[in-house]
Structure formats: C-alpha cells, structure tokens
Structure 1
Amino acid sequence: MKKRKYLTMSEVRKLINAVGQGDHADRDACLIWMCFLHGCRVSELNSLRLSDIDLEGRTIMINRLKNGFSTIHPLFDIEIEPLQQWLRKRLNYRGCDSEWLFLSRQGNRLSRQQIYKMMRKSGRDSALSIAPHPHMLRHACGYALADRGIDTRLIQDYLGHRNIRHTVLYTASNSRRFLDIW
C-alpha cells in the first residue's frame, strides 16, 4: 500500500487541537490553519510577513516559490480569529517589532525545522495514525478543494502551479467527481 501524502480535514482539526495544549498554541494553531487553507509550502509559510496581511481588507499575499504564481487570497472566517489571537500574543514575543509573521521563542523568524518539529510533536500528541509534515497540509488543501468540486484550473491558480499536471493529482483520484454522471 502506498503511503498517504495528505491529511484529512478531521486530521487537520486534531493537529490544531493538539497544539492547543502547547507553549505556543496560538502561533501554532494559526500556522496550521494558514498552511492548510492557503496550501502553503513550509518556506512560503515561514516567509510570511506582517505586511502580507490586510486584516481590514481580509486578504493575504501568498508569495509562491518554485517559480509558482504568487496570488492574493481572501482571509477566511475560520482563520481570522486564530490569526487575531496570534497577533495579540505575538506582541509579547521577543522580536515583536520584526516583519516576520511567525516568530520563534527567541524572536527570530520561525525556521522550517521548527515547523517540522512542531508538526511531528502535534501528530504524536493527537495520536494520528500518520506522521504529519507541513507539505501534507498543502496536499490536504488540494484534495479538500477537489472534494468540494472546485474546478481544476481554479485549484491550479490557487496553489500557484504553473503546470496543470501538478494539479490533476488532486482531481483525478476524486471519485466524487463521478457522482452526477448518471
């Protein structure tokens, strides 16, 4: 059997609930929500800046890497409260005057390795049957959008794929797309 490369929505929620007990619960919950909802790669996530977020206009600039298309996404209701909680808590962090959205305990930009470590710990704490890592949230986003019946081209744009071949893996394995054929 092939090892699954994505998380389900219920697994994402379990991860978020697991970080609710940690020292950096607000930061980590916000980070997981944003990674999942915007399909971010870990380096896109830890490169988010305060200036990328417009809370009043409810938008976020997602700067895609790997030659992807950068886009402005809406901020969704489900992430607004965790984001606002993190921004309030962030004021108590060393380096709160920094431009980086996600800060480490020392006040530096949160590293890729710290994000991987947090996700592994959250996966253990939530007793997931799969060892999660950040890229699984990007795939979870793609599959969740396909499950909602979102058009492949729109998913392509949303995830910043230049080549549609990278996007069709989310829709090709979705049996729900055949429900209304007959």
Structure 2
Amino acid sequence: MVKRQGAKRHNDRSSKKGTTTDGRRKNYLSEKEVDRLIAAAKKSGRYPLRDGLLILMAYRHGLRISEALKVNVADIDLDRHRVWIERSKGSLSTEHPIAGDELRTIKKYLADRKSAAPQLFITERGTPMSRQNAYDLISKAGEAAGLGHVHPHMLRHSCGYHMASEGVDFRTAQDFLGHTDPKHTAAYMRINASRFNSVWGRR
C-alpha cells in the first residue's frame, strides 16, 4: 500500500507543468517550444532577424550566451556551411556545421544589417550586444510565447537534451557541447530511456 502511494506521489509530480519526471523544475525547452520562442522574439522585438538568429544559434550549437555574443562574422564560412565556436570556461572550441534553415537566416540577417562591425550580434548603434541585452530579449520572448521565465542558458540545456532524446552517442554530444568533464554530458543523457533498449534485446 505504501509503495502504491509513493508511486502516485511520483506520478503527480511528473505531471506538473514545468517539471521533469523526478519532480525537478524543467530547465530546458523542447524543439517546438524553441520554435515558439523564436517566433515570439521576431514579433516582440525591433530586430526580428537578429533576435531570432541569436536564439536559433544558441540552441542549435549549445552556446552559452557569452559564446553566442563572441561569434564574429569572420567565424562563419557561408560556402562551407560551417561556423567556428569559441567556447568559454575552458571548454573545447570546435567547428560546427550550419543547417540549411540556419544558413538562410544568417544570409538574410547579414544582408539586412547596416554595419561593418566584426561581431555578428550588434545593437542599432553597431556596438556588440551585451549579456543583459540578450537576457532581456530572451526573457521577453519567453513571456510572449507563453513559456514563462526563459533565460539564455536554457537554450544550451535544450541542445543537450535534444541530442540525448535523438540518441546521439555520448562522445559526440560531449565534443559538440565542448565539455571537458564527461559528468556534464551525462546529466543530459540520463533522460534518454531508449539507451536501455538493447539490455534485454527483443523478447
């Protein structure tokens, strides 16, 4: 009887909006939620292309906000569909592929902006965006999208959890996110229940 009550409490917690199955507050967004966030940013801000691209790149490449704001125009190779990711906090820097929809957005943004500033993400005055600029626009977009409080680092977490749910192997995910300590990657991989599928095989 006690065990059944315990299971019920666990199930009740997992059903609460904004929490994970073990009752912790959810700190990532699904792919559809990221799409909603981008759409809201494009509607609620004065610079829809820039704001949408910032969110998209932070999500697609698992960027800390400081890393996203460090991306320079020269780091992007439009011909090879590649971007150089300069990691922070001692993480491993590497080159990432750019998907087709992301590439098209980058091209539109570069064609639209009127500045020769080296930084990819700039203000209307042509100065680099600050962390506070990015925090404010993402937070505002989260509220507009009906997602509640969204902060920039949730986009990095969202990338990690997306890779886990897609079954990306551990080492690839670790390298992609620039983790030097595998325990940080393991935190994402724990949600992927399908990794146990081969334990007993087909019965």
TM range (shorter): over 0.9
How many angstroms apart in 1 are the aligned matches of 2:198 and 2:137?
41
Query: 1:119 is matched with which residue?
Result: 138
TM-score by length of 1: 0.93
Which has the greater radius of gyration? 2
| Equivalences, count | 177
Q: Is the 8 A contact 2:92 2:175 kept in 1?
A: yes
Q: Is the 8 A contact 2:167 2:192 kept in 1?
A: no
TM-score by length of 2: 0.84
Instruction: Tell me: higher relative CO, structure 1 or 2? Use CA pairs within 8 A at least 6 residues apart.
Output: 1
CA drift of 1:38 comes to 0.4
Q: Is residue 102 from structure 1 mapped to residue 124 from structure 2 by the alignment?
A: no
Q: Is residue 166 from structure 1 mapped to residue 184 from structure 2 by the alignment?
A: yes
Query: 1:143 is matched with which residue?
Result: 161
CA drift of 1:173 comes to 2.0
Query: 1:10 is matched with which residue?
Result: 32
3-state SS in 2 of match to 1:46: helix
Equivalent residues in 2 for 1:60-79, closer than 5 Å: 60-79=83-102
Q: Which aligned segments of 4 or more residues in structure 1 are displaced greater than 3 angstroms? A: 179-182
Instruction: Name the Cα RMSD after superposition.
Output: 1.1
Query: 1:28 is matched with which residue?
Result: 51
Specify every segment of 5 or more residues in structure 2 that has no aligned partner in the other structure, as ranges. Answer: 1-22
CA drift of 1:180 comes to 4.6
Specify every segment of 5 or more residues in structure 1 that has no aligned partner in the other structure, as ranges. Answer: none
CA drift of 1:10 comes to 1.1
